[in-house]
Structure 1
Amino acid sequence: FAKMRAGDVLVCRQSTVSWAPLYTMASAVVTEIGGALCHAAVVAREFGVPCVVATGGVLSTLIDGEPLEVDGSAGTVRRLFPVTWDDPEDAKLLWRRDDAHNTHVVTPLAAEYTRYGSNYGMRRRDEELGSPVLARLQTFNGRSYSATKALRPPDEMSAHQKVALAKRRTLARRLRREWDERYLPELNEHYAWMRALSLEGLGGGEAASAWDDLWRRHRRAWRIHMLVTAGAYAVMDELADTYKTLIGGSEADAFALTQGLAITLQQLEKDLFALTETVRRSPIIADAIRRGAAVDELGARDPSFARAVDAFLRAHGEAGASGDHFGSVAWAEDPTLLIRAIAQRLLIPTEDPEVRRSGLRGRADQLAAQARTALADRPEDLARFEEVLAAACATGPLTEEHNYWLDRRNHANMGRAARTFGTRLVRDGVLRDREQIFLLYLDEVRDALRAPRDLSSLIAERETEQERWRRLEAPETIGDPDAGLGPKAGPTWHLLYREVQDDPARALRGAPASAGVARGPARLVRNLEDFAKFRRGDVLVCQSSNVSWIPLFTSAAAVVTEVGGPLSHAAVVAREFGIPAVVGTSVALSTLVDGEPLEVDGSAGIVRRLTA
């Protein structure tokens, strides 16, 4: 009885009149046994609650927390998101929908990308750093969910968490050097191998071995990814805690101490600015872009512009995919995406990135000077502040630099390599289109490379399955609602945080992510197609983001997201470019109206609706 909540569907074997308090809370009632005049049916009718009885085996079939539609008139119970647990123990965890990375149904190979990527990397990281909490990622009906599982009894958890945190902070102190000298060179070697991949002249067994090698490199990249983020997130949290404890300042000001130091992101913005200015100085190209000319036509009109685009794509072409779903294309595969970004920037002059960065570093230096003044007569505290600040300035930028070098580049290179194998399977008569490889699981591709056979019927089944999954209503949580370890217990909370709202008609609350106050019209951006409607001075309202959204960030008056904490991708990128931001508002896309005027207070974490 204690776990019943208002609006739940009461599922039970049978009931009596003593269960009336639950009936008045329930949205519907379902029982295993009974008839039209059984206790459950009569009590349900008495309180006007839809009810279906005598379903037989419902308690062993349904999963606690899964969404249902109960039609008491038709006598049907429809499972809106049926879940099959590979391990029954997983049903005892609370699984949260991962809206930070995938907001739609993913393909089988994309699910494998997560299974052997981020899920594998988190497990190896937790083993190495001794976390008392195991982070999990899994796909149900094509939708991604995350969960955390306690590995220690509650009375031991705090002590083990302190030990694990100390290991993360120690890692942070050496991480910058290891990134520059070890991890980044290794990643570049993996990506070079992927780009050079060719299956010409390889037999089936050799091609299958190359497939396995590709995924071995993928696993290694994600093991690096999770070690890097473990240290980077830890030292940024440490900076915030230290600043608030010693200085009494805000978390937003603490994070501002490191803004402008993500050199790769700054370089991306500088190069995009330079490319746009090149177009601005060429009326012929600028006019052609405004009317939607194709990339080939632009190159034919001005070969120097074609060379400039090629140079940009060599440097940054593996960015540009708007989402994290495996198979989406980057700028290098579809330069039209880059041209669209330039077209938007041509509408209004863009601030020089170096001027912007100089201002950000000036404010950071000012905040640091104020802190030093406040601690001048407390030498031990000052020394502690200086040590943490130095570590954060060195390693903290990797909270988002990693997204460029790992998420975006690995995503692009793995996708390109997968299509190479897809082309091979088309040649062997296994598939009709290379994109169909994303509808297969890893083992199925390996088997098809070794022993080719027509998989047309399987592909048709998978296409039908994908369509069926897209019709399902994915709930925010599944599993045991009482099994959660708290909103900030797991290592992924920075990415998945959501603030509970109390008065969304007037204002939304979220995590204060990037200091400052700005006003502008709300521009709701849900996907790549929505990029085109964005204008300079708009408030970017989105689910979440990644570094490929930089062209929008640098044109935005402010940023508001539904998902994420102060170290999420959107928060870090907003700070890096000095854009006020509030993240983790939960309901921004479903509550705000496109074009309505907003005031975003990134210091207080408030989004005010000015017409409310």
Structure 2
Amino acid sequence: MNIYTEAGTLEFHPPGPGAWSIDAAHFPRPVSRFQAEIHPKGIADGFLECARRYGLLIDGLDFRFVNGFAYSSVIPAPEDEIPARFEAAERVFRDKIWRRDLERWDTEVKPASIKTHRALLAIDPDALSDEELAAYVETCRDNLVKMIRQHHCFNLAAILPVGDFMAHVAAWSSLPLSDYLALSRGAAPESAGEFDEIDDLAKALRDDPEARATLASDAPGAEIIARLRAAKGPVAQALEAYLDFVGYRLLNSLDTGEASAIEVPDALIARIRQALAPEVAHLGVVPEAELARLRKAIPQENRAMFDDLLEEVRTMSRLRDERGFYSDVWAGGVMRRALLAAGARLASAGRIEEPAHLIEASYDEIKDLLGKTGGPSGAELADRAHYRRSHRAEGAPAAIGDPPAPPPPMDALPPDTLRVMTGLGTAVQSLGSPPDTEREPSVVRGIGASPGIYTGPARVIDTPEDLSRLVPGDVLIAAATSDSFNIVLPLVGAIVTNAGGLLSHAAIVGREFGIPSVVGTRNATALITDGMQVTVNGATGEVEYEDG
């Protein structure tokens, strides 16, 4: 429930003791009530599991939603578990336990997740009876709950190797960390929007002139997709495989209240057209000369360790996006599909105003609505939807509750525990934004996350539906990006976000695709308007724009 003052402004009360900070990178707007119910427990359970295995002195994050905005507070590990955590930390770097996590991900977890998601998508919710549909919604919800937890079980495997790398490199070299992080380019092709399915579709289209003519037509994206699907042959099959793989992924959030890719067909068509362009190719690994330049800046006695740390970063970098892409990002899209089908029935019966408004209900309310035993009115759900559309994280306080306590001294910690906690701290700090910087006319400042300079028209993306306006060469301006942005990011020439740090999603995909990226600007979407000509400097973190 949202809390307002008598003047009509939102009040933000801490949901518990301690200091609470907002997570604008993953949740740039208020989340749906449905999502707010299930997300916190999945994060807490998943993080706790890997915290114990990796010997962290924290249990993870107490994650709550205040007026729909995501806030978190650190949970220290219980005193009686500290000896076991010390012992676990001794194994982390000695055994490189993240590699066992990656093997389990590749051989067990990821294949099982794909199988489950596809099995759920094979069910046509429109063909189900009301009772069967209610059961299907519950099955999809159970899957999403499991996938949220699964995502966060792999947090440490995804971020500790790179955090450890950053901590060491910062001590060894004065060169920008973003240059060193770019050395992982080519190790995570899906972060650059590369999938076998899009390559197969492009090949089929090249062999079919009639299908290419359909693709090049001026018809709306949904109509083009329908025509290509209706045609018989390899193109239809390849398109179906591509849509089956990416269509039901949440595009700009981890919230089922936001659109999935299939709901933005113009963006999908633009991506398919771009895949046919002969000049488009993945940039591959960083040139040897660049590696040599950066390695030379490392003291001689540390270069062997530098090589080893870099190898671990390259090995594990794909897990950063994959753990969401194949877990809750996909499960959230499957869940949304089920709720939209159920919402369509309720809307046709006059119970709610729009199908998507069902996602604004809590799960108990959804069950009441589907069971015809009560539930909120259509007007109330419409009000909740309007609230989410009209509020953004930039308007919420960055911190609530007590002032942050200074970090405890770590000098007396065992060496392995100190290294684990330093690597984690470095990584976590690199996920968020810097403090406010001085503003000046015509320049937005943030963190230079991926080097290079690019000038092009700004495309301000506020909702997933706005992605339909992206054309190749645009500069994407957004509050944040999420894993499934990878589907359309190959279209853009540069990325600028309000939220994020050197390890935020926008920074990682910018480096992977080799395009300039500036993150953590805090206010780019407020200062830059759609269509402005902007110049993005991914080294200095500056974005120049036309001032009024």
Q: Shorter-chain TM-score category?
A: 0.7 to 0.9
Deviation (angstroms), 1:255: 0.9
Taking the aligned partners of 1:512 and 1:106, their CA distance within structure 2 comes to 29
Shift of 1:585: 0.8
Which of 86, 89, 108 aligns to 1:182? It is: 108
Where does residue 189 of structure 2 map in the other structure?
Answer: 263
2-structure distance, mates of 1:468, 1:568: 27
1:542 shift after superposition: 1.3
Distance 1:120 1:217 in 2: 15
Query: Is residue 2:323 matched to residue 1:394?
Result: no
Q: Is residue 499–residue 586 contact of structure 1 (8 Å, CA) maintained in 2?
A: no
Equivalent AA in structure 2 for residue 512 of structure 1: G
Aligned residue in 1 for 2:214: 285
1:137 and 1:375 map into 2 onto residues whose CA distance is: 39
Shift of the 605–334 alpha-carbon distance from structure 1 to 2, 3 Å rule, reads closer
Summarize deviations over 1:509-532 as a string: whole Å, max 9, x none. 222211222233333222234334
Q: Distance in 2 between matches of 1:334 and 1:594?
A: 19
For 2:272 and 2:69, how far apart are their aligned partners in 1?
33
Q: Determine if contact 1:499/1:511 at 8 Å carries over to the other structure.
A: no
User: What is residue 35 of structure 1 aligned with on the other side?
Assistant: none
Aligned-partner Cα distance in 2 for 1:463–1:429: 13
Match of 2:433 in 1: 497
CA-to-aligned-CA distance 1:193-227 (integer Å, 9 cap, x gap): 533558989996x9877766544433332222113
Q: 1:103 aligns with which of 28, 43, 50?
A: 28
Residue by residue, what CA displacement relative to the aligned partner does 1:521-557 show, whole Å, maximum 9, x if unpaired?
Answer: 3332222343344343332221111243336532333
Using the TM superposition, give the Cα deviation of residue 394 of structure 1 relative to its aligned residue in structure 2, in angstroms.
Answer: 1.0
Tell me which of 304, 313, 323 is aligned to 2:243. Answer: 313
Amino acid at match of 2:331: N
Q: What TM-score do the two structures reach when normalised by structure 2?
A: 0.78
Higher mean Cα deviation, 578-587 or 409-418? 409-418
Which one of 472, 497, 514 corresponds to residue 450 of structure 2?
Answer: 514
Mapping of residues 216-365 of structure 1, within 5 Å: 216-265=142-191, 268=194, 271-272=197-198, 275=201, 278=205, 282=210, 284-289=213-218, 294-295=223-224, 298-299=227-228, 303-304=232-233, 305-319=235-249, 321-332=251-262, 335=265, 337-342=267-272, 345=274, 349=277, 351-353=279-281, 356-358=282-284, 361-363=285-287, 365=288
Q: 1:544 to 1:458 in 2, by over 3 A?
A: same
CA contact under 8 A between 2:248 and 2:260: conserved in structure 1? yes
Structure 1 residues 377-418: Cα deviation after superposition (integer angstroms, max 9, x where no partner): 53xx23322221221111122112323222431222222344
The change in CA–CA distance for 1:336 and 1:549 in structure 2 (over 3 A counts) is: same
Amino acid at match of 1:252: S
Structure 2 equivalent of residue 461 of structure 1: 380
AA aligned to 1:223 is: R
Once the two structures are superposed, residues 104-139 of structure 1 have per-residue CA deviations (whole angstroms, 9 ceiling, x without a partner) of 343321222423443543455446554426413322
Whole-Å Cα distance in 2 between the matches of residues 114 and 575 of structure 1?
A: 29
Counterpart in the other structure of 1:564? 500
**Structure 1, residues 51-73: CA drift from partner, whole Å, max 9, x if none?**
xxxxxxxxxxxx9xx996xxxxx
Query: Deviation at 1:587?
Result: 0.9
**Any gaps of 5 or more consecutive residues in structure 1?**
1-62, 69-76
Change (3 A) 1:215 1:416: same
Of the candidates 543, 546, 564, which is equivalent to residue 482 of structure 2? 546
Q: Are the aligned partners of 2:25 and 2:499 in contact in 1 as well (CA < 8 Å)?
A: yes
CA contact (8 A) 1:504 1:591 kept: no
Aligned partner of residue 217 in structure 2, secondary structure: helix
Distance change in 2, residues 1:407/1:213 (3 Å): closer
Q: Deviations over 1:1-31 (max 9, x none)?
A: xxxxxxxxxxxxxxxxxxxxxxxxxxxxxxx
CA distance in structure 2 between the partners assigned to 1:559 and 1:428 by the alignment: 43
State the 1:257 CA deviation: 1.4
- Structure 1's 315 and 113: CA in aligned 2 closer, same or farther, altered over 3 A? same
Once the two structures are TM-superposed, the CA of residue 584 in structure 1 deviates from its matched residue by 0.5
Deviation at 1:489, TM superposition (A): 6.0
**What one-letter code is carried by the residue in structure 1 that aligns with 2:112?**
E
Counterpart secondary structure, 2:194? helix
Q: Is the 8 A contact 2:444 2:542 kept in 1?
A: yes
Q: Distance in 2 between matches of 1:315 and 1:469?
A: 28
Q: TM-score, normalised by structure 1?
A: 0.71
1:480 is the counterpart of 2:410:
no
2:466 counterpart letter in structure 1: D
Q: What's the secondary structure of 1:325's corresponding residue?
A: coil
CA contact (8 A) 2:143 2:331 kept: no
Task: Report the Cα offset of residue 140 of structure 1.
Answer: 2.6
Give the direction of change, closer, same or farther, for the CA distance of 1:459–1:121 in structure 2 (3 Å limit). Answer: farther
- Paired with 2:535 and 2:70, the residues of 1 have a C-alpha distance of 32
SS of the residue aligned with 1:268? coil
Give the total of aligned pairs: 520
Offset of residue 183 of structure 1 = 2.0
Alpha-carbon distance in 1 for matches of 2:391, 2:231: 49
Instruction: Please tell me whether the aligned partners of residues 162 and 427 of structure 2 are also in contact (alpha carbons under 8 angstroms).
Output: no
SS at match of 1:294: helix
Residue equivalent to 1:537: 473
Distance 1:483 1:562 in 2: 22
For residues 494 and 326 of structure 1, what CA distance do their matches in structure 2 show? 26
